[in-house]
C-alpha cells in the first residue's frame, strides 16, 4: 500500500516537473518571438541608425557568450530553480530599460541584462528536468519541448508583427484626433478673439465682460 502511494506521488511530481518545464520554455520562446519580430524597427523608431542598431544587437550576443560558463557554475551552486528565477528578474529589468530608456546607453544596458538572462536560462531548465525525471521521461519531454517551441515561435512572431501594426494604427488615429481637436480649438479661439475685438470697438465695458466670458469659457 505504501509502495503504491509512493509511486503515485512520484508520478504526480514528475508530471508537475514536465508541465512546468514545458510552460517555462514556451514563455521564454514567446517572449523572444514577440519582441524579436519588430526589435530592429523599434530601435529605428528610437532614432538609432543601422550601425548603432547592429552594435546593440551584437552587445546581446557578446553578453551571452561571456556569461554562459559563469551562469552554469552559478546554477550548480545556487540551484536551477533560483537561477531560472534570476533569469526572469533580468528579463523584467530588460523590459523596464527598453520601455523607459531613450538612448544608446539605456539600450546597451538592456541588451546586457537580456544576454545575462538568456545565459542563466540556457540549459538550466534542461538540467533541472533531467535531474527530476527518468531517462525515458526526459526524452519524451524534450521531444514535446521541440514541438511546442516550433509552434510558439511561429505564433509569437506573427502576433508580434500584428501587434506592432495595430499599435501604429492606434497611434496614428490618436495623433489625427489630437490634431483635429487642436485645429477646432484654435478656430474657436480666433472666433472669440474676433468677438472681443468687435465688442471693444462698440463699448469698452462690453469688451471687458465679453472677453472674460469668451476666453475663460
166: closest CA among 29, 38, 26?
38
Does 23 map to a domain? yes
Does 167 map to a domain? no
35: closest CA among 121, 114, 148, 119?
114
Mean pLDDT, range 164-176, rounded to an integer: 53
Q: What is the pLDDT of residue 162?
A: 62
Residues 112 and 192 in one domain: no
Residues 121 and 181 in one domain: no
Over residues 94-153, the pLDDT tens digits come to: 989 988 888 889 999 999 999 999 888 877 888 888 888 888 888 888 888 888 888 888
Residues 40 and 127 in one domain: yes
Does 165 map to a domain? no
Residues 152 and 210 in one domain: no
Over residues 24-63, the pLDDT tens digits come to: 888 888 888 887 777 888 888 888 888 999 999 999 999 9
Does 141 map to a domain? yes
Residues 115 and 204 in one domain: no
Cβ pair 56, 42 in contact under 8 A:
no
Residues 26 and 85 in one domain: yes
Residue 194: all three cell numbers together: 474676433
Does 114 map to a domain? yes
- The residue segments making up the domain with residue 186 are 172-216
Q: What is the pLDDT of residue 111?
A: 94
3-state secondary structure (DSSP) of residue 54: helix
Does 164 map to a domain? no
3-state secondary structure (DSSP) of residue 127: helix
Residues 50 and 130 in one domain: yes
Residue 197: all three cell numbers together: 475685438
Residues 136 and 111 in one domain: yes
Residues 58 and 116 in one domain: yes
Does 209 map to a domain? yes
Q: What is the pLDDT of residue 89?
A: 92
Give the position of cell 514535446.
144
Give the position of cell 484654435.
186
Identify the domain boundary among 159, 183, 201: 159
Domain with residue 29: its CATH number is 1.20.1250.20
Taking residue 156's Cβ as centre, other Cβ atoms within 10 Å add up to 20
| Crossing angle (nearest 10°) for helices 135-202 and 2-36 | 40
Identify the domain boundary among 159, 181, 204: 159
Structural domains counted in the chain: 2
Does 60 map to a domain? yes
Residues 185 and 155 in one domain: no
What is the distance, to the nearest Å, from the Cα of residue 66 to the centroid of all Cα atoms in its chain?
24
Residues 149 and 179 in one domain: no
3-state secondary structure (DSSP) of residue 32: helix
Amino acid at each position: 500500500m505504501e509502495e503504491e502511494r509512493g509511486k503515485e506521488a512520484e508520478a504526480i511530481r514528475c508530471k508537475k516537473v514536465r508541465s512546468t518545464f514545458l510552460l517555462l520554455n514556451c514563455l521564454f520562446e514567446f517572449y523572444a518571438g514577440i519582441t524579436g519580430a519588430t526589435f530592429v524597427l523599434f530601435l529605428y523608431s528610437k532614432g538609432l541608425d543601422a550601425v548603432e542598431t547592429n552594435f546593440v544587437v551584437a552587445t546581446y550576443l557578446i553578453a551571452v557568450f561571456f556569461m554562459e560558463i559563469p551562469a552554469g557554475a552559478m546554477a550548480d551552486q545556487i540551484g536551477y530553480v533560483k537561477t531560472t528565477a534570476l533569469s526572469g528578474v533580468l528579463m523584467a529589468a530588460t523590459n523596464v530599460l527598453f520601455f523607459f530608456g531613450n538612448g544608446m546607453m539605456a539600450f546597451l544596458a538592456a541588451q546586457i541584462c537580456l544576454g545575462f538572462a538568456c545565459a542563466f536560462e540556457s540549459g538550466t531548465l534542461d538540467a533541472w528536468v533531467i535531474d527530476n525525471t527518468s531517462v525515458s521521461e526526459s526524452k519524451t519531454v524534450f521531444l514535446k519541448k521541440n514541438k511546442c517551441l516550433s509552434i510558439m515561435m511561429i505564433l509569437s512572431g506573427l502576433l508580434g508583427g500584428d501587434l506592432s501594426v495595430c499599435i501604429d494604427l492606434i497611434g496614428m488615429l490618436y495623433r489625427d484626433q489630437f490634431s483635429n481637436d487642436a485645429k477646432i480649438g484654435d478656430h474657436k479661439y480666433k472666433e472669440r478673439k474676433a468677438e472681443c475685438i468687435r465688442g471693444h470697438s462698440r463699448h469698452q465695458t462690453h469688451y471687458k465682460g465679453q472677453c472674460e466670458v469668451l476666453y475663460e469659457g
